[in-house]
C-alpha cells in the first residue's frame, strides 16, 4: 500500500471496545506509513528476504538466532508464586497442530528478526473462554496494515488483501519486536552484501584471463586469429606445448586477486551484517582475527542469550502472556517464559565441578545429582 492509499475511502470496519489494544499498538509496517522509517532513523532502503538469505553471514545469523530460540522449551507458570503449570495448553508448545512447534517458532523468530513483527492467525478458539486453541504462522509479506489517514493508529489488518476480523477465528495475534526489522534497518548493507556475493560468483564463473596473445604490428586476418586462439586454447587444456611465430607475442596480464579487494569487502560487509543481526562476529566467522574467547561453554551461551536472543524471546514471551485482549492464549493468572535451565546448563565438566562443591558442603546428595543428570528415571 502506498502513500496515496491513505487518502482513499476504506471499507468501514466497526471496531469493538475490546480492540483498543490493537488500535493503539505501534505500527510496524512499511505499507501506508509515510514517515515510519524516518521515525526509526532508517535509511528507507528495504532489502528482501531472498537478498538477506543469499549472504552467508546473514543466513548463518538467522539460523543461530532462530534455531537456538526454537530449541528452547516454553513453560507456563503462575504469576503469583512462579509455580510451574504442569498441563499448559498445547497451543503454547505447538501453536499449529499440523507441524512441530519448533518449526512454527523458528519462522516466527525469523519474522521478528527480519521484519520487526510476526503474525499467528487464529484457527480455533475454546467455546467457554474464547482463548486461542490453535493458530498458524502467517508470512508478514501477506499482511497489510491499514491505518487512519494520519498513520497514527491501526484501523485493521488484511491478509492477502482480505480484512481480518479483530477477534475470534481468523483474527491475528500480533508479535511486535523492538525495531523495524533488519531488512529495513540494514537494507543498504544487506543489498551490498548480496551484490558482493553475486560479484564473487560471477568472477568464479568468468575469471579474468591471465594472459593474452598480442600481435606485433602485423595485420592478421580474422580466420588466422581464430585458428591461433583455438590452437592455443587446445594446447592449454591438454597441458601440451604451444607454438607462436614472430607475428604474435604472449603477454601475461599479471593478475593479482588481492587488487580486486573482493575478499576484504566481503569480510567488512560480513562484520557489519553480524553487528546488525546482533550476533558476535566470531559466531559467523566474520572476523578471522577476533580475539574474543570464552573460558567455558556456558559463558558463550550466556553472551549469545543476552546480546542476540533475548529481544526476540521477550517479544514472544510477552505476547503469549498478554491478557485482557480478545485474542488471549492464557488466563490472567498465568504467564509464559522460556525454560533456560538446559540451555545454560554448561558442559559435563562444569556441572561436575559445581556438583562436587555442593556435595562437599552437604547442599546436595548423590541421588539428587543422579536425578538432575537424568541418571534416575
The pLDDT tens digits for 55-64 are 988 999 999 9
Structural domains of the chain, with CATH: 1-207+258-344 (no CATH), 209-254 (3.30.1120), 347-377 (no CATH)
What cell was used for 250?
A: 604472449
Reply yes or no on whether the pLDDT at 214 is more than 80: no
Band of pLDDT at residue 49, cut at 50, 70 and 90:
very high
Q: For residues 202 and 58, is the Cβ–Cβ distance under 8 A? A: no
Q: For residues 369 and 359, is the Cβ–Cβ distance under 8 A? A: yes
The H or E element that residue 39 is part of is helix 36-40
The H or E element that residue 65 is part of is helix 56-70
262-277 and 56-70 are packed helices; what angle lies between their axes, rounded to 10 degrees? 30
Phi, psi of 155 (to 5 degrees): -80, -50
- DSSP annotation string for 162-208: EEPPSSSTT-EEEEE-SSS-HHHHTHHHHHHHHHHHHHHHHHHHSPP
| pLDDT (mean) for 338-347 | 78
Residue 95 has a CB neighbour count (10 Å cut-off) of 26
- Which range (122-136, 214-228, 262-276, 351-365) has the least confidence? 214-228
Closest alpha carbon to 243 in 213, 209, 211 = 213
Contacts of 143 (CB under 8 A, 6+ apart): 29, 119, 157, 158, 159, 172
What is the rounded CA–CA span in Å between residue 137 and residue 14?
26
Reply yes or no on whether the pLDDT at 336 is more than 90: yes
Band of pLDDT at residue 327, cut at 50, 70 and 90:
confident
Q: For residues 125 and 133, is the Cβ–Cβ distance under 8 A? A: yes
DSSP secondary-structure letter at 269?
Answer: H
Q: For residues 137 and 119, is the Cβ–Cβ distance under 8 A? A: yes
SS3 118: strand
Going by their DSSP bridges, the two strands 172-176 and 117-125 should be labelled as: antiparallel
Give pTM, 2 decimals. 0.71
For the chain, give the number of residues. Answer: 377
Burial category of 105 from C-beta neighbours within 10 Å (exposed 0-12, middle 13-18, buried 19 and up): buried
Q: For residues 117 and 108, is the Cβ–Cβ distance under 8 A? A: no
Amino acid at each position: 500500500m502506498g502513500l496515496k492509499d491513505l487518502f482513499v475511502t476504506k471499507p468501514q470496519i466497526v471496531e469493538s471496545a475490546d480492540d483498543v489494544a490493537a488500535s493503539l499498538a505501534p505500527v510496524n509496517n512499511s505499507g501506508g506509513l509515510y514517515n515510519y522509517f524516518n521515525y526509526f532513523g532508517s535509511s528507507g532502503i528495504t532489502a528482501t528476504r531472498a537478498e538477506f538469505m543469499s549472504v552467508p553471514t546473514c543466513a548463518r545469523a538467522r539460523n543461530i538466532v532462530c534455531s537456538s530460540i526454537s530449541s528452547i522449551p516454553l513453560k507456563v507458570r503462575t504469576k503469583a508464586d512462579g509455580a510451574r503449570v504442569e498441563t499448559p495448553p498445547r497451543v503454547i508448545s505447538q501453536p499449529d497442530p499440523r507441524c512441530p512447534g519448533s518449526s512454527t517458532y523458528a519462522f516466527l523468530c525469523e519474522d521478528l528478526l527480519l521484519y520487526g513483527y510476526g503474525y499467528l492467525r487464529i484457527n480455533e478458539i475454546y467455546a467457554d473462554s474464547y482463548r486461542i486453541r490453535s493458530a498458524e504462522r502467517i508470512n508478514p509479506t501477506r499482511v497489510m496494515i491499514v491505518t487512519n489517514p494520519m498513520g497514527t493508529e491501526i484501523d485493521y489488518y488484511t491478509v492477502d488483501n482480505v480484512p481480518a476480523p479483530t477477534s475470534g477465528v481468523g483474527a491475528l495475534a500480533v508479535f511486535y519486536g523492538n525495531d523495524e526489522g533488519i531488512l529495513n534497518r540494514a537494507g543498504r548493507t544487506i543489498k551490498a552484501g548480496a551484490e558482493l556475493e553475486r560479484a564473487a560468483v560471477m568472477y568464479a564463473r568468468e575469471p579474468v584471463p591471465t594472459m593474452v596473445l598480442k600481435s606485433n604490428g602485423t595485420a592478421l586476418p580474422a580466420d588466422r586469429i581464430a585458428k591461433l586462439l583455438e590452437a592455443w586454447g587446445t594446447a592449454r587444456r591438454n597441458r601440451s606445448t604451444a607454438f607462436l611465430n614472430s607475428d604474435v607475442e604472449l603477454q601475461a596480464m599479471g593478475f593479482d586477486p588481492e587488487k580486486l579487494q573482493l575478499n576484504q569487502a566481503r569480510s567488512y560487509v560480513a562484520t557489519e551484517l553480524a553487528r546488525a543481526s546482533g550476533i558476535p562476529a566470531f559466531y559467523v566467522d566474520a572476523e578471522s582475527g577476533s580475539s574474543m574467547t570464552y573460558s567455558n561453554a556456558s559463558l558463550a551461551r550466556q553472551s549469545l542469550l543476552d546480546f542476540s536472543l533475548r529481544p526476540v524471546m521477550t517479544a514472544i514471551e510477552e505476547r503469549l502472556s498478554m491478557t485482557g485482549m480478545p485474542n488471549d492464549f492464557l488466563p490472567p493468572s498465568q504467564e509464559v517464559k522460556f525454560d533456560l535451565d538446559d540451555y545454560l546448563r554448561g558442559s559435563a565438566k562444569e556441572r561436575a565441578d559445581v556438583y562436587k562443591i555442593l556435595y562437599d558442603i552437604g547442599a546436595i546428595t548423590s541421588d539428587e545429582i543422579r536425578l538432575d543428570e537424568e541418571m534416575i528415571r
